[in-house]
Amino acid sequence: MTTSILSPKADLTVALVGNPNTGKSTLFSALCGVPARIGNYPGVTVEKRVGKYKDDRGTVSVIDMPGTYSLTARTLDEKISVDVLLGRQADTPQIDAIVAIVDATNLERNLYLFTQLRDLQIPLVLVLNMWDRIQTSGIRIDVEKLQDRLGAAVITTVAAKRHGVNEIKSAVRAASSQCRPASPVLSEQLQTEISDLKSWIDSVETQALPTTGREFLCQRLIMDLDGALAEELTRRPGLEALPERLTAARQRLADSGQRVPGVETRQRYAWIRQQLEDIVHRPPDEMRTGSDRIDHILTHRIWGLVFFAVVMFAVFQMMTWGTDWLATGITDHLQPWLVDQVQVAIAPGPLRSLMSDGVIAGVGSVIVFLPQILVLFFFIGLLEDCGYMARAAFVMDKLMTKLGLSGKSFLPLMSSFACAVPGILATRVIENWRDRLITILIAPLMSCSARLPVYVLMIYTFVPDVSWMGGWIGLRGLVLFWMQSLGLLVAIPVAWIFKRYIFPGEESAFVMELPSYKLPSPRVVFFRVWERGQSFISRAGTLIFLTAIL
């Protein structure tokens, strides 16, 4: 195969793509070094994270794509990812290179997404993260042979320790100036059907497909049965016959024993196993049971729930211990001091009233909620980064299913205890529209931090300061825990009614990867807390501030 030489560019735009729990966010912060610029893609609630770094030739913008297992585009996150990679997303420049990060300890499953990225014909760098685990687990990977087989640069990293970051930057710059044609993964008949479909679309409507990834889009048209992309193209003049064309192509494939969509998964994994056959060498299974031994307790149908309840109780205890003094200091000391300064500096009149009763009161009403939100997201960040949050969702799935939800509803509802705004935004990862809508409707029932000051005031007024076990367990913390749980107790029958009478339907399947346990990265946790606090102030805080002024 001949390598295509591309025109070198000083400034690049790079997409960081990977499965969930592969260390993608950790690598993003290691590459860019500062908190990301957070926003939304136009017209949707999908979060857009962009960072930058400089090398000796220019500036590289890194787009942290939502975590995804494939480019099938079943969820809104996945659809946005495909649109960004193909240059179809507004306000996002054309992608010059892709950095695909994978968990080196689970290479076969992670490479499924990589095989789809190869089909885009965009310069590609493969990052094998968590390489330290490879070195301690007994797994051996021939990196040089893997690089030759895949036709892409392969870099080993430990993103949490910033190992391999400079090598990734060099590989990105080198890859952006050349593109190696990818050897086909799918069968010859599938390739023929894709090529025929592309030729027909080009002959009817030359502007229907983007300049990048034309074959890939035709591949998705045939493989994806939901028809979202086909429906979009069918509205174009001359493409009204597209659904019939797709049906005929799928029938020809089925007649040859390649029924869609299962054929794609079978052929991609068969290709991956063939490439890795003499590259990855694993030790006996009994050497890899550390996480399994822990999961025997934490995912147990009884002890798993008990442990989860203890963890949540500890979080709420810390929300009272760790934020009481700060919230009190803001309301009892900082705000009065600022009001006094304004009254001294500004003569009586509308301006003084605006500053003291409007601006300071408005800012104070926002800031007073911030400590509780930051503490909650700090612990959520710790639990996510160490691998426990996925287990919590797994443990809660049975209860969620009885309510008409799925285990994926757990994290949005958990986030709603800090603020319903980020909780509702987080529902975009739920594929099933019914589960997503019910989760959105019950999220405001969770006791968010805006209610916390009221709870604290009532508790400190009516509940005596009694504690046990040397002060580790307090009566006030217990009461706060149950008051915070009240919203959840109300949400249970409400969700059941929605499921039974308003949005009836079949229960959705819940499949979730349980990542290996690891020590949380302080850097990643800090950035997550920073981003969530920033998101609260910019979204909910702005509205609260303006309402207080008015």
Q: What is the 3-state secondary structure (H, E, C) of 133-182?
A: HHHHHCCEECHHHHHHHHCCEEEECEHHHCECHHHHHHHHHHHCCEECCC
| pLDDT, tens digit, 9 for 90 and up, residues 167-191 | 999 999 998 887 666 678 899 999 9
C-beta of residue 165 within 8 angstroms of C-beta of residue 16: no
User: How far apart, in whole angstroms, are the C-alpha atoms of residue 389 and residue 515?
Assistant: 10
Both tokens assigned to 521:
């990265």
Both tokens assigned to 429:
């990862």
Most confident range (mean pLDDT) of 143-152, 311-320, 353-362 is 143-152
User: How far apart, in whole angstroms, are the C-alpha atoms of residue 428 and residue 484?
Assistant: 25
What's the chain's average pLDDT? 79
Residue 542 β-bridge partners: none
| pLDDT, tens digit, 9 for 90 and up, residues 275-287 | 998 898 877 654 4
pTM of the complete model: 0.72
Residue 27 contacts by C-beta under 8 Å, 6 or more apart in sequence? 16, 99, 101, 127, 129, 157, 159, 165, 168
Residue 205 burial (CB < 10 Å; 0-12/13-18/19+)?
A: middle
C-beta atoms surrounding 277 within 10 Å:
9
**Which has more confidence, 290 or 514?**
514
Both tokens assigned to 280:
């990855």
pLDDT at position 212 is 67
Is the sign of the CA dihedral 66, 71, 72, 73 positive or negative? positive
**Which has more confidence, 54 or 542?**
54
Among all chains, which residue has been given the structure tokens 């297992």? 69
Tell which residue, 45, 6, 62, has the closest CA to residue 423.
45
pLDDT at position 463 is 80
Q: Strand 140-141 relative to strand 58-64: parallel, antiparallel, unpaired?
A: unpaired
Sequence letter at residue 548: A
DSSP type of residue 358: I
pLDDT at position 39 is 46
User: How far apart, in whole angstroms, are the C-alpha atoms of residue 228 and residue 78?
Assistant: 12
Q: Model confidence at 440, in pLDDT bands (50, 70, 90)?
A: confident
User: How far apart, in whole angstroms, are the C-alpha atoms of residue 66 and residue 16?
Assistant: 9
Tell which residue, 117, 103, 107, has the closest CA to residue 152.
117
For residues 198-204, average pLDDT? 84
pLDDT at position 6 is 56
Is the link from the previous residue into 35 a cis peptide, with omega within 30 of 0? Answer: no
Residue 63 β-bridge partners: 15, 50
Q: At what angle do helices 303-321 and 475-497 cross, to 10 degrees?
A: 120
User: How far apart, in whole angstroms, are the C-alpha atoms of residue 354 and residue 361?
Assistant: 9
Residue 515 contacts by C-beta under 8 Å, 6 or more apart in sequence? 20, 21, 103, 387, 390
